[in-house]
Amino acid sequence: MQHLSGAIYNWYRKNKRDLPWRQTSDPYKIWISEIILQQTRIDQGSSYYLKFTDTFPTIIDLANAPEDKVLKLWQGLGYYSRARNLHRAAKEIAEKYDGVFPSEYNNIRMLPGVGPYTAAAVASIAFQRPYPAVDGNVYRVLSRYFGIETPIDSTIGKKEFLELAETLIEGSDPGMHNQAFMEFGALQCTPKNPDCRNCPLQQSCYAVINKKVEFLPVKEKKTKQSTRYFYYYLIEQGDAIFMEKRIGNDIWKNLYQLPLTETQNALTDKQIIQQKIPALPSNTTFNVVSVSEAKKHILSHQIIWAKLIRVEISKDVTIENPFVKVNKKDISKFAVPRLLEIFLEAVDFNDKHDKY
């Protein structure tokens, strides 16, 4: 045990990356970084972290911000429930803790959107609480080093790995310990093609000795992806278009979108044009400007095939709630899903020759 931790600590001191959240002891900023990095690569997450902490330098700033502003800043990161929970948690800290980030693991764990890993990471790094932060990197290191074949996504596996991680963190500098193990998994003990020849643990690692590196860790559950078909209607009325806010417990909740039709199967262009266009009153006369090619957008559990249909209507057509009339020059002010942002970036409102 001591050899494992000691070797990783030495490796970490020599190889750790210079990341912006490692330059602060502010629990608020450490928490922001952990939430952003839950489902985001570090190279992408770093810029969002800097934008977020510049725009909302304190918990109070985040708590007082409109949700639309938070979602707009988050645009492009995906998994938008993280942003909504971040906002809710900031409000809770402002109200319950007078804007001071809680220092105890159990209180951190109770915040919206905070699971065992995030609570342990913040508690250990910001407050030196001895809680192991077990993420995918740590699962991989422990599974390979100790030869544990219990699936890491099973209830039994999570318990087994957590108990092992708790023994390893005892008597250490908890914040450094967790960061070292996570960094080691991210850079050295990588998911594919790890550099075992230059690993300080090669002579004692079960997976290296038994040639099982590529088989560990073990997962038992496979994510099933559903397929959805989205048809967005860019309804132009002079200098304006129409948008609506997504509601309900589905993807992209509270983000804005163009009027949308979803179908169970793909439609032909003829079917797209012939069907009822959302937002438009019955028997409305419209001109179809263009129909884009289908774009494939992959989420963790879903594959979305989407098309954008541009139509023009006359100025005497009235469109009512929940659709909002938006000036074309103001579209960028609204937080929209990345899929829709890609479509809108390709639209040329001047000559109608879109770059889909």
Cite the active site residues: 34
How would you label 201-219 residue by residue, b for 16+ Cβ within 10 Å and e otherwise? beeebbbbeeeebeebbee
Give 148-191 as a DSSP string.
--S-TTSHHHHHHHHHHHHHHHTTS-HHHHHHHHHHHHHHTS-S
Please list, in sequence order, all residues whose beta carbon lies within 8 angstroms of the beta carbon of residue 95, skipping any fewer than 6 positions away: none
Measured distance CA(197)–CA(328) in Å, rounded: 57
Q: Are 221 and 153 in contact (CB under 8 A)?
A: yes
Q: Are strands 302-312 and 226-236 parallel, antiparallel or unpaired?
A: parallel
Measured distance CA(206)–CA(269) in Å, rounded: 57
Measured distance CA(349)–CA(87) in Å, rounded: 35
Please list, in sequence order, all residues whose beta carbon lies within 8 angstroms of the beta carbon of residue 249, skipping any fewer than 6 positions away: none
